[in-house]
Amino acid sequence: MSAPRTSAPLADPVVVPAGTTAADAVAAAGLPVNGPKAVVVVRDSSGRLRDLDWTPEFEESAEPVSIDSPDGLNVLRHSTAHVLAQAVQDIFPEAKLGIGPPIDNGFYYDFGVPKPFHPDDLDKLEKRMQEIIKSGQTFKRRRFASLEEAKAELADEPFKLELVDIKGDVDAEVMEVGGGELTIYDNLTKDGERCWGDLCRGPHLPTTRLIGAFKLMRVAAAYWRGSERNPQLQRVYGTAWPTRDQLKDYLKLLEEAARRDHRKLGTDLDLFSFPDELGSGLAVFHPKGGVIKREMEDYVRARHIEEGFQYVGSPHISKEGLFHTSGHLPYYADTMFPPMEFEGANYYLKAMNCPMHNLIFRSRGRSYRELPLRLFEFGSVYRYEKSGVVHGLTRVRGLTQDDSHSYCTPEQAGAEVRHLLNFVLSLLRDFGLDDYYLELSTRDDSKPDKFVGSEAEWATATAVLEEVARESGLELVADPGGAAFYGPKISVQARDAIGRTWQMSTIQYDFNQPKGFNLEYQAADGTRQQPVMIHSAKFGSIERFFGVLTEHYAGAFPAWLAPIQVVGIPIRDDHADYLAEFVAKLRKEGIRAEVDYSDDRMQKKIRTAQQQKIPFMAIAGDDDVSGGTVSFRYRDGSQRNGVAIDEAVAHVVEVVRSRVNTGPSAE
């Protein structure tokens, strides 16, 4: 997610005499220069942000930018990065400066240091930053006419020197070369004395005092200029806000995310685990997780069949040749588990299902009348993810894809992609994800060896996907270079309950594998033609989707997915038999219901059921027994007392079958 580039105008353009500083202009317009709504920079007519002390080019159309706008927040965060860098060099004088851009909710700064930072160092740095901020430093822009001058100034900063020297693909976000212009910002104390400086394109806050609240979050290593071949620098991450309250809210959001973490909930709710004995990235689903997984699969299988897919099956391993034919092996040999050799052949665990489906297509002659031919399966694949990247259920080494391949004529491709996109979106909606945008991943023409097929083929395929994506009316984001080697793709990015986005489904247009497999169908005119294939995974992987759903619902799954849907809670032991009859009736309707027979008190049983996030608690005591009723407590805490047994059964059945959620997802 990248921050929006625009900020809403605060006022009409300010008209001032030439030579006025932006700060004076802002003041003249009666705009605030302090506090949480402060104007911190201005935008010139070319859209570029400028410091408030910017005079020479000041224009009538300059637009004030407030600190709480997205641009203003970036300026605030970037300025905080400078304060961090100054603090680091104060405490670790040997530290060399990398870069320090703003990011979502914060900033980072990279440093070259002889010894990596320890998390405890953050406290010291925060303290020093606090002092700097309170002292009210300003950032003073200095311009250099020549490279030499700048280099002399930066003689002690090897990384900055490298930035100065970079020819061609200069990272314009980081600095500005071009036109021979290089700028250094000097940090000035309140008395106007220089106390620090950094090569930077700016702009910055007029004073560090506007940094209302910040916190250093973590240290990590990051490759210099993002390349694995470069040395690693120490990156310090922080967050920064105009006010303390905003920082507090942000930290609360992080806590909420931690509370929803599927890895924690997986243990708490007894859903799944990753036994050491299996190896990294290999999950087992426990009975409760198994229920959810099976419900997900059953539903998705049924929906596929409704949509005209045919359910197929294929093995987990194959001889090597198959993956040569498909073209995968040269690209993915590193990330496939190493081959097993026996009977004179190499066998690989499959890392993708498409080659298998291609063999099904090719198993007999195909007619145009069969197209689009839609094959679908839950295909388990194994990918040797690097040790540092496995992450809960969202990045694993063994996973199951709900993988489909639609074989169609090139003319049918657009309609098939449209069909798939609608299908995918309706499925996601059924699982409570209804806020999404699309990403169109295309070929990177500068890296032809990463992609197969001609430019014309790519252009055709991309045009088909783009047209369907556009007419969907959903937000569409370009992802140049993100395509698979065999073709472009649309991916659906879904926002969860707390606004995080997850890449979910993909739809990929492939004209290459049909070629490699020599797939053919007989056309109406009797000629043999080559189909195109559309790959699609709706969940992406069952495991990953499971993890995302767990976080989306914070473990409070909608009733139809809940491992235990109803728990009977007797007020006294002797009410248990009465509830057992009720539970038996529910089970007859296919409801997952149990009686809590533990010798805990009913309050404790309620607490246990709440922690298990069970949607329905059916409570019964003397009143209910004599009245032939049960009393519901829902997991959101609301109650419905004295519901007649038959009505209660019907109520539960209705909620479960309608697949709606009972109670707010956050408990």
Partner RNA sequence: GCCGGUGUGGCGCAGUGGUAGCGCAACCGCCUUGUAAGCGGUAGGUCGUCAGUUCGAACCUGACCACCGGCUCCA
Stretch 272-301 residues interacting with RNA (CB under 7 A): 274, 276, 279-281
| 639: contact with RNA by CB under 7 A | yes
Binders of RNA among residues 599 to 618 (CB under 7 A) are 599-604, 606-607, 610-611, 617
Q: Which of 16, 62, 461, 484 binds RNA (CB under 7 A)?
A: 484
Region of 40 (left: φ > 0; alpha: ψ -120 to 50; beta: rest) is alpha
Q: Is 515 known to be catalytic?
A: no
Shortest Å, Cβ 375 to RNA: 16
Shortest Å, Cβ 596 to RNA: 10
Q: Which of 13, 48, 223, 495 binds RNA (CB under 7 A)?
A: 223
Q: Is 195 known to be catalytic?
A: no
Binding mask 542-581 for RNA (x = CB under 7 A): -----------------------------xxx--------
| Tokens matching residue 583 | 């539970």
Binders of RNA among residues 27 to 86 (CB under 7 A) are none
Q: Which of 77, 293, 328, 552 binds RNA (CB under 7 A)?
A: 328
Task: Assess contact for 360 and 373: CB atoms under 8 A.
Answer: no
- The contacts found for 523-531 with CB under 8 angstroms, 24 or more apart, are 523/368, 523/409, 524/368, 529/368, 529/409, 531/361, 531/366, 531/371, 531/373, 531/407, 531/408, 531/409
Q: Is 489 known to be catalytic?
A: yes
Nearest CA among 239, 202, 237, 211 for reference residue 222 = 237
Q: Which of 50, 78, 82, 235 binds RNA (CB under 7 A)?
A: 235
Shortest Å, Cβ 619 to RNA: 5
Annotated binding-site residue? 354? yes
Residue in 86, 137, 246, 401 annotated catalytic = 401
| Distance separating alpha carbons of residues 71 and 6, to the nearest angstrom | 7
Q: Which range of residues in 16-24, 153-161, 355-363, 636-644 is near RNA by CB under 7 A?
A: 636-644
340-342: strand order across its sheet: 317-319, 345-349, 340-342
| 267: contact with RNA by CB under 7 A | yes
Binders of RNA among residues 202 to 221 (CB under 7 A) are 218-221
| Distance separating alpha carbons of residues 132 and 130, to the nearest angstrom | 5
By C-beta, is 206 or 555 nearer to RNA?
555
Binders of RNA among residues 580 to 599 (CB under 7 A) are 598-599
Binders of RNA among residues 354 to 393 (CB under 7 A) are 383-392
Size of the site for RNA (CB under 7 A): 75
| Distance separating alpha carbons of residues 373 and 361, to the nearest angstrom | 8
Residue 461 vs residues 371, 373, 420: alpha-carbon distances, Å: 18, 19, 15
DSSP H stretches of helix in 172-261: 244-260
Residues in the chain: 667
Task: Assess contact for 306 and 426: CB atoms under 8 A.
Answer: no
Shortest Å, Cβ 316 to RNA: 14
Nearest CA among 203, 195, 275, 261 for reference residue 54 = 203
Q: Which of 336, 490, 507, 591 binds RNA (CB under 7 A)?
A: 336
| Distance separating alpha carbons of residues 234 and 371, to the nearest angstrom | 55
Binders of RNA among residues 519 to 538 (CB under 7 A) are 535
Q: Is 262 known to be catalytic?
A: no
Annotated binding site: 354, 405, 535
What amino acid positions are annotated as catalytic residues?
A: 354, 383, 401, 403, 405, 489, 535
